[in-house]
Every structure is written in structure tokens, then in C-alpha cells.
Amino acid sequence: MPSLTLVSFDACPFVQRAAIMLQEQGRAYDIKYIDLANKPDWFLAISPSGTVPVLEVDGTPIFESAVILEYLDETADEGRLLPDDPIERAKQRMWITYISKIMAKAWQLQSAKEEEKVRALAGELRGHFEELSKQLPSTGSLWGGDRFTMVDAAIAPILQRLTWAETLEPSLALFEGMPKVVAWRDALLARPSTTASIVHDLEQRSGRMLKNLGGWIARNVES
């Protein structure tokens, strides 16, 4: 098996996608944390867009979280997550792309300084979750029913952060009236791979980071 090193920033949901996949597969890996505010030269040499995650495979860098997920799936010992049928594979890839766009909006909601902007983004996010809700199966609480899929790995970090955002500002009601999405969120947040893929105090650290950025939802967080 090749040696795997995940180049990481501890609060990054895109890194967490890769860490969830590694945890689900039970693979051994090292983590190298970098400071995104002060990117080292060795990092910029392997990540042309300057973003984490990067997965180093025996020293070869792979960047872009969705590509890393696919690499890990293709090299799994057993239990591939992407199905054999090309249409079913395309469906997972297209919803992962959709979710990646939601992640950008979720970050804007967490860091926006004005309440009005936060409320508008919350409305847009509710629309996206309604769309996802229509795709969820009628039985089981995961994207694939009882089966964990790559879509689950891709969305878990953002469902986790938006749940933390709601703890700070319950009136956001991001999942109100969407029982299937709530069950999906609860199942993913309770999964060992979700908890094991982050530093244990990330919720508190993220709250302080958002407060320092002037985020409206974090206005009451103690610094």
C-alpha cells in the first residue's frame, strides 16, 4: 500500500471529506497541517491553486477533494463506493459537484457580517436542501439508503458546520420541514468517520474563528 499524507488546515470542510473517506476505509495516513494565512513554499509547489486538501501518495500530490475521493475509492481494497453502472456513477458525481457549490454558500453564511445577508443565504441554502431532499431514498437515512456513498462523504462536513451555525443562531431553521434531510444529517453526524475526521474541539475553534472574522452568527461567541 502506498504511504498517504493529507495536507490539511484543521477547519477545512474539503479536507474533512478526504479524512472521512480515509476513516471509512480504515486506511493509515499522516496529516501535515499548514497555515493558510502563511502558505509555505513547499505547499505552493504541490498545490498550484493554493488550496487544501492535497493528498500525497508516495510523494505524488493529488489536489481537489472530489478527485481525492475518487482516487481513494479506486484504490480501495474492497467495498468500492462508486457503483459500476455509468449512469449511477454520473449521478453521484453530479450531486457531489452540486454539494461543492453549496459549500461555498455555507461558508458565506457563516462568515457574513450582516444579518440581512445571512438570512438571504439561509433562504438559498434551504432551497438547495429541498432539492437534495427530493433525491433522498424513501428508506434508510443515507444517500444510498442503508449504504454509505461518496455523496455522504462529500456532504457530511457541511451538514456538520451548518448544524453548528444553527446552534449559534437557531432562527436560521435551515432544515425545517425537511425530515429526510434531518435524518440524513443526524445519521452522518453520528457516524464515527465524521467525528474521527476532525480535531475534537473544532466546533469551539470554528466559533472563535467566525467571531474573529466578524461573522454575524458568531456575534455572541466568547473570544
Ligand X SMILES: N[C@@H](CCC(=O)N[C@@H](CS)C(=O)NCC(=O)O)C(=O)O
- The residues binding ligand X (CB under 6 A) are 9, 12, 14, 36, 50-53, 64-66
Give the C-alpha separation, 164 to 4, whole Å: 30
Q: How many CB atoms lie within 10 A of CB 185?
A: 22
For the bound state, the minimum distance from the C-beta of residue 43 to ligand X, rounded and expressed in Å, comes to: 10
Q: Which is nearer to ligand X, 60 or 139 (CB)?
A: 60
The C-alpha atoms of residue 199 and residue 187 are separated, in whole angstroms, by: 20
CB of 179 to ligand X, least distance (A): 29
- Confirm if 159 and 108 have CB atoms less than 8 A apart: no
Residue 24's closest CA among 127, 154, 120, 219?
A: 154
Sort strands 4-8 and 30-33 into parallel, antiparallel or unpaired.
parallel
CA distance 31 to 107: 23
Q: For ligand X, which is the closer residue by CB, 40 or 177?
A: 40
Shortest separation between residue 109's beta carbon and ligand X, angstroms: 15
127 is written with which cell numbers?
432551497
If the CB atoms of residues 14 and 129 are measured against ligand X, the closer one turns out to be 14
Q: How far is the CB of 155 from ligand X (least distance, A)?
A: 13
The Cα diameter of the chain in Å comes to: 51
As measured in angstroms, the least distance from the Cβ of 148 to ligand X is 20
Look at the chain and count its residues: 223
Q: Which is nearer to ligand X, 34 or 172 (CB)?
A: 34
The residue among 66 and 76 lying less far from ligand X, judged by its C-beta, is 66
Classified as helix, coil or strand, 1 is: coil
Shortest distance, position 140 Cβ to ligand X, whole Å: 27
Smaller CB separation from ligand X, 35 or 85: 35
